[in-house]
């Protein structure tokens, strides 16, 4: 009776059955969890860092305004910009190319992560970008050649775009500022609800973006993120630094992103979640892939992982409790071997049944 009742079947089934059912249910909901160690990470996470473009927003940008320098027409500026942006896969580049329609071809294409792109179009050197390229003071030649009044118009367009939540893109032709293109993104309908769900799970959301502060804060306010928790104007290589900064402050960090620029930060975070519509590099660097690219899935993935981990602990508790209680009973001679076998079988069935309850998990 002691030998039968001490059979460790229930303990052996406690963890794998819960993981099998939990990850299987996740796959049905479009949540691909890569390994069992991830379950413990989700339990400890208290901070979540969200990339803006393509994660909180749709990532489908469109051109809303084009302001050109005096003597240049809009079609020339936008077509030259599209020519060099055609070599980039960034959402901003796609917006400019789509707005321009037909455009000339560019040669000598170069891309600087977080700064923009350059190329040669019809013998002219064209640079299109934001951040440092968009501060209007990169080229002293551009300032002097544009003229005070014209420069003021372009500066006003740049400032107005930032303040209204748009993303201003500066176009330079032969080092002269040729125009400012304003592109805008739209927030996903589900982002505000997703942020609320993450906060209910005890997570503090942060917004991380290479976009300007005005656009970042406008998005943060709309979805319910504290403007104080916005990291704007962050270069791709600085995203990792921001994650490390939070970790060094004692926080356990989850990161949600979708682009090549997010891959290093996803790998650095204690828990990386990648949008299924994102790049292969981001998906490879993440721990959980959200196949439907809905930010609410991040909250569902964390809830499911935590529930799976909780089920594992419950299974192990009952498996150990069963042995602790019944082995002394069997050793004292109060348990018939037949009933010991039935009790042992029941404990295994109980553990499996408890794990199967995870099949009822529903995403909110």
Residues classed as catalytic: 51
Could you tell me which of 342, 315, 301 has the C-alpha nearest to residue 197?
A: 301
- Enter the tokens of residue 69: 């320098």
Q: What is the DSSP pairing of strand 47-51 with strand 204-208? A: parallel
Token pair 């299924």 is at which residue? 276
SS3 category, 157: helix
Neighbours of 35 (CB within 10 A): 11
Residue partners of 313: CB distance under 8 A and separation at least 6: none
Tell me the C-alpha distance between 177 and 136, whole Å: 8
Structural element, H or E, at residue 268: helix 263-268
Exposure of 28 in the CB half-sphere (CA atoms within 13 A): 13
**Buried b or exposed e, range 232-256, using 16+ CB within 10 angstroms:** bbbebebbbebbeebeeeebbbbbb
Q: What is the DSSP pairing of strand 47-51 with strand 253-257? A: parallel
Tell me the C-alpha distance between 237 and 267, whole Å: 13
Exposure of 360 in the CB half-sphere (CA atoms within 13 A): 5
Phi, psi of 57 (to 5 degrees): -105, 170
Q: For residues 22 and 300, is the Cβ–Cβ distance under 8 A?
A: no
């Amino acid at each position: 009776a002691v030998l039968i009742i001490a059979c460790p079947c229930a303990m052996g089934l406690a963890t794998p059955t819960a993981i099998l059912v939990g990850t299987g249910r996740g796959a049905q909901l479009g949540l691909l969890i890569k390994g069992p160690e991830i379950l413990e990470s989700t339990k400890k996470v208290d901070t979540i860092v969200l990339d803006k473009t393509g994660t909180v927003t749709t990532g489908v940008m469109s051109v809303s305004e084009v302001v050109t320098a005096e003597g240049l027409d809009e079609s020339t500026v936008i077509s030259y910009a599209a020519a060099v942006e055609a070599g980039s896969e960034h959402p901003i580049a796609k917006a400019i190319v789509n707005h321009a329609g037909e455009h000339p071809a560019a040669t000598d294409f170069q891309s600087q992560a977080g700064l923009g792109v350059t190329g040669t179009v019809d013998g002219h050197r064209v640079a299109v970008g934001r951040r440092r390229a968009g501060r209007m003071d990169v080229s002293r030649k551009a300032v002097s050649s544009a003229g005070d009044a014209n420069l003021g118009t372009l500066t006003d367009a740049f400032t107005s775009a930032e303040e209204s939540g748009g993303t201003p893109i500066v176009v330079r032709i032969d080092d002269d500022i040729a125009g400012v293109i304003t592109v805008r993104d739209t927030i996903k309908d589900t982002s505000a609800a997703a942020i609320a769900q993450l906060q209910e799970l005890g997570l503090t959301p942060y917004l991380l973006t290479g976009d300007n502060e005005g656009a970042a804060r406008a998005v943060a306010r709309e979805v319910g993120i504290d403007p104080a928790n916005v990291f704007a104007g962050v270069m791709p290589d600085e995203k990792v630094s921001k994650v490390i900064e939070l970790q060094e402050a004692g926080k356990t960090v989850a990161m949600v992103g979708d682009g090549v620029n997010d891959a290093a930060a996803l790998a650095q975070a204690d828990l990386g979640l990648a949008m299924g519509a994102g790049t292969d590099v981001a998906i490879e660097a993440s721990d959980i892939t959200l196949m439907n690219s809905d930010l609410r899935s991040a909250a569902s993935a964390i809830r499911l992982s935590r529930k799976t981990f909780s089920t594992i602990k419950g299974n192990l508790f009952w498996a150990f409790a069963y042995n602790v209680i019944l082995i002394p009973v069997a050793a004292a001679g109060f348990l018939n071997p037949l009933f010991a076998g039935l009790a042992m079988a029941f404990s295994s069935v109980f553990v499996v049944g408890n794990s199967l309850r995870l099949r009822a998990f529903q995403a909110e």
